[in-house]
Structure 1
């Protein structure tokens, strides 16, 4: 039960939080099943660890909620989020204060018990590189999470940047030596554009992934980073 204990402890703070107005989903733990409608909150987790940690006997991928993986004994780390269903969200994981997340290798997004939906492991970083921008789609059928997809990006934003490289089929990566916490000055925190697809429990269509796909040439995290850097530079000049 070690892995399950890891999940419940991380979600404990969410259990005590009241739902926002219009949020009828009372499930706050990522390892419990929920049936949701548009504008409900939906709790899911992202586990960070080595790729093999997510497989039983190196062959069968299980949900991080499955105690057979014993993720806690492998030093896995967890982030828990509760976005609103069918709203485009930008999720961030601060790796400046915890650079081991970038070096952990892979991450898996997951939620639920009976259906145990989970994504394939996606590369985050190692001692050489760190990927900071991702797109995640949660796919529902009649309000129940059925599948979780990472969408790979292009390498167009790497062009002309000496601190970045293009990793084939994975997108742009920052050279780890340039990251804060590893001797560099670049904020290598992870940014995840989150969207929804499928239908809610009333069969209403979830459209946010369609909206994100139309804007795929843009990055919410990139826009956020540009704004943050602009404000930081402005105030640095004042003082």
Structure 2
């Protein structure tokens, strides 16, 4: 039976970052975020993050669907998508440059997604509006026997921005920067998005993933220390916290 073309292929991508895993240990030949994959440790795994208004991710304003689902109207809206291919069970720092893109201009929310039959997707996470932007996130991929079951945003309850004047705590869960401090809004702060990525569950050989247990013990922004080559260009606003 022919597989219908996914909605995601119709979305105009403003930016795409695909970190291809060039390794003989990569057994996953699925490179589309809208196709199911079964993975083992050290495989590459492709998933997407769509940016749009919160209501755009719900069918008939009631049921949340994957951005790959053609019943959503994302292809006819201003929605944007980024595609990533991290290495399974390795802690990764994903970055999205906002110098020419502002999430608030396309609706201000994002959903991580992957798969077709299983159609895993996160709940919509607030990113930005005209007043605030959240620049740091932790995303966990939950697998069972190598199949993605769930994607969820792990929040720290604003512990990392307590007492810091440049940050505002939103809804007791997200540390945000005032948008007038961002470079693309006339300020001096680089408001590029940083997404810490980790894995939980088991691969197709029932090997347990360990990266989530490692990242959950790290404080917010700690991964920026491990990526010194990115810190100056993407996360210079955090230098004084190290």
TM bin, normalised by shorter chain, reads: 0.7 to 0.9
TM-score normalised by the chain length of structure 2: 0.85
1:58 aligns with 2:66: no
Match of 1:164 in 2: 167
Q: Does the 8 Å contact 2:21/2:44 carry over to 1?
A: no
Distance change >3 Å, CA 119–CA 132, structure 1 → 2: same
The match for 2:89 among 62, 86, 90 is 86
Match of 2:179 in 1: 176
Tell me the number of residue pairs that the alignment of Structure 1 and Structure 2 aligns: 229
Unaligned runs of 5+ in 2: 238-242
- Tell me the CA shift for residue 157 of structure 1: 3.1
The match for 1:35 among 32, 35, 38 is 38
User: Which stretches of structure 1, 4 residues or longer, exceed 4 Å deviation after superposition?
Assistant: 7-14, 222-227
CA distance in 2, matches of 1:166, 1:65: 32
Bigger shift: 90-99 or 4-13? Answer: 4-13
- Tell me the CA shift for residue 45 of structure 1: 0.2
The match for 1:109 among 102, 112, 120 is 112
Distance change >3 Å, CA 121–CA 28, structure 1 → 2: same
CA distance in 2, matches of 1:118, 1:105: 17
TM-score normalised by the chain length of structure 1: 0.86
- Tell me the CA shift for residue 217 of structure 1: 5.3
Q: Judging by fraction of residues, say which structure has more helix.
A: 1
CA distance in 1, matches of 2:16, 2:193: 23
1:5 aligns with 2:9: yes
Distance change >3 Å, CA 51–CA 13, structure 1 → 2: closer
Q: CA RMSD in A?
A: 2.8
The match for 2:74 among 71, 77, 85 is 71
CA distance in 2, matches of 1:11, 1:167: 27
Bigger shift: 45-54 or 153-162? Answer: 153-162
CA distance in 1, matches of 2:40, 2:200: 12
CA distance in 2, matches of 1:232, 1:187: 7
